[in-house]
Structure 1
């Protein structure tokens, strides 16, 4: 069963003094690429969270976001009075020319609070219980994302099977008109010979004709193409999602279609080959998003 690389999962964990929001989004990528955004006090746990995400998702461009909202009376930031007073005195000495009034004092305070180090932040230690709650939230967000991937994969699988069916039908049509192509090639050669107005050895002509027609025979390509189409469907129905393997199979399908096109030498068959190439290109585009 194939899975899409596109997915989204979200979970919120409520602790006594804070609310932690976990969001994980994945897009298609050849390899695993994790981009993590989280508050600085949680950076010490980044590597273990990356390992947890990478073990579950294996491939894709992953955006992991953690947002923390304080809901209690406690806060990690506090005003640094000495620094703020120093800023205010410096501002007064630069700006004020006389005795300041309350309105000016308020303006100095507002300016001082925007300057560096006006707030001091104490690093919070992450206790084991809080980290376990974060891990649980990440796992639940990952489970939601995996379900999203599976749902998308079902839609992709349905589309692939329909296009493979279309390729089978086009190949059947190619085989149906193949005798017409052989007759057309033979008639064209005979017409060319007759226009030369020269005496031709009929036996030699038949030998050359057989050689020419065998050169453009597509029996081997037809057998290999049918096998590749069957193998593609079989791989789709396997328990694992393997987009890279399906990509390799489509390359082989493309080679056989191209060879049939180069050997066809017959306009109606070449039109069918163009349709087959179009279907295959649509499969290749969708495969870029398969895990």
Structure 2
């Protein structure tokens, strides 16, 4: 089990300078990746994204890659466009011949002319390779952080499941007494009315009333959902969505128990169930 909330940062020194990578992930329904990196890494962004998708299934992932070059390193190469420079000189000579002037272009004029100085990107393949290795290293640290937090959340959820099982078991112990209270109440009502009911008719009406407050099926489904949840806690693959679905089912059973309640004991127990289920839901929002 992994949490979707984590942070990791790593750095690496290269011959050209220092690369740093920070990855932050928070809870998100699907996998949403945002990468902010230097321009020379844009061509490698697809590989970076594939690496993240291979390791993470859900969450909003923010990746920040920065490069701090050494003093003697330039990521662009500047060259003189000799062909354009010759054309400019030829044009100046033609204009002087036509106008009978002796004007000339000075060095600053040539330097400002578009495309006289050509900037070409330097070979950054070494940096791209180092960046891919760095992001793998950072993802490994991120996964370790997500697993540590996931283990803590797993312990919390396991404790909450124990609470659900205890509340469910307590409700089962309340049922016989509640049913007996219902029988006594119906008999007392008949006695107050001074009516002698036929035994068959009384038993039929009693069965109808008991059926209305019967919560055996809801308790059985609660036990089944809790057992399934305990199984999912042991899985290594992402199971956050399935857990979220189970939370809806658990909450539905707790609501039904509350609506069928014929005594304060079961009403209070259903509220306790919903409180624990809501606490679990809050934790599950961060599970991958």
Check if 1:260 corresponds to 2:262: no
Check if 1:239 corresponds to 2:239: no
What does the per-residue CA deviation read over 1:242-266, in whole Å, with 9 as the maximum and x for residues that have no partner?
A: 1111112222222222222221221
* Corresponding residue pairs, total: 251
| Residues 195 and 8 of structure 1: CA distance in aligned 2, closer, same or farther (over 3 Å) | same
Conserved in 2, the CA contact under 8 Å of 1:77 and 1:121? no
SS of alignment partner, residue 74 of structure 2 = coil
Long gaps (5+) in structure 2: 78-113
The answer for the alignment partner of 1:105 in structure 2 is none
Shift of residue 17, structure 1, vs aligned partner: 2.5
Long gaps (5+) in structure 1: 79-116
Conserved in 2, the CA contact under 8 Å of 1:41 and 1:123? no
The answer for the alignment partner of 1:97 in structure 2 is none
Q: Which runs of 4+ in 1 moved over 6 A?
A: none
In the alignment, the residues of structure 1 paired with residue 224 and residue 158 of structure 2 have an alpha-carbon distance, to the nearest angstrom, of 15
TM-score (norm 1): 0.80
The answer for the alignment partner of 1:44 in structure 2 is 43
In the alignment, the residues of structure 1 paired with residue 133 and residue 3 of structure 2 have an alpha-carbon distance, to the nearest angstrom, of 24
Check if 1:159 corresponds to 2:156: yes
| Residues 239 and 208 of structure 1: CA distance in aligned 2, closer, same or farther (over 3 Å) | same
Query: Aligned match of 1:283 in 271, 280, 284?
Result: 280
Q: Aligned ranges for residues 176-255 of structure 1 at < 5 Å?
A: 176-255=173-252
Q: Aligned ranges for residues 111-122 of structure 1 at < 5 Å?
A: 122=119
Conserved in 2, the CA contact under 8 Å of 1:16 and 1:72? no
Check if 1:26 corresponds to 2:25: yes
| Residues 34 and 123 of structure 1: CA distance in aligned 2, closer, same or farther (over 3 Å) | farther
Shift of residue 231, structure 1, vs aligned partner: 0.9
In the alignment, the residues of structure 1 paired with residue 74 and residue 238 of structure 2 have an alpha-carbon distance, to the nearest angstrom, of 46
What does the per-residue CA deviation read over 1:64-84, in whole Å, with 9 as the maximum and x for residues that have no partner?
A: 001111123233589xxxxxx
In the alignment, the residues of structure 2 paired with residue 73 and residue 215 of structure 1 have an alpha-carbon distance, to the nearest angstrom, of 84
In the alignment, the residues of structure 1 paired with residue 256 and residue 118 of structure 2 have an alpha-carbon distance, to the nearest angstrom, of 69
Shift of residue 241, structure 1, vs aligned partner: 2.9
SS of alignment partner, residue 4 of structure 1 = coil
The answer for the alignment partner of 1:5 in structure 2 is 4
What does the per-residue CA deviation read over 1:261-286, in whole Å, with 9 as the maximum and x for residues that have no partner?
A: 22122111110110011000010111
In the alignment, the residues of structure 1 paired with residue 175 and residue 123 of structure 2 have an alpha-carbon distance, to the nearest angstrom, of 73
The answer for the alignment partner of 1:133 in structure 2 is 130
Shift of residue 219, structure 1, vs aligned partner: 1.6
Shift of residue 184, structure 1, vs aligned partner: 1.9
| Residues 121 and 223 of structure 1: CA distance in aligned 2, closer, same or farther (over 3 Å) | farther
What does the per-residue CA deviation read over 1:21-60, in whole Å, with 9 as the maximum and x for residues that have no partner?
A: 1111110000011111112232222222112112211211
SS of alignment partner, residue 74 of structure 1 = coil
TM-score (norm 2): 0.81
The answer for the alignment partner of 1:88 in structure 2 is none
In the alignment, the residues of structure 2 paired with residue 35 and residue 123 of structure 1 have an alpha-carbon distance, to the nearest angstrom, of 28
The structure with more radius of gyration: 2
Q: Aligned ranges for residues 30-179 of structure 1 at < 5 Å?
A: 30-76=29-75, 122=119, 124-179=121-176
In the alignment, the residues of structure 2 paired with residue 74 and residue 171 of structure 1 have an alpha-carbon distance, to the nearest angstrom, of 69
SS of alignment partner, residue 185 of structure 1 = helix
The answer for the alignment partner of 1:103 in structure 2 is none
Bigger shift: residues 155-164 or 46-55: 46-55
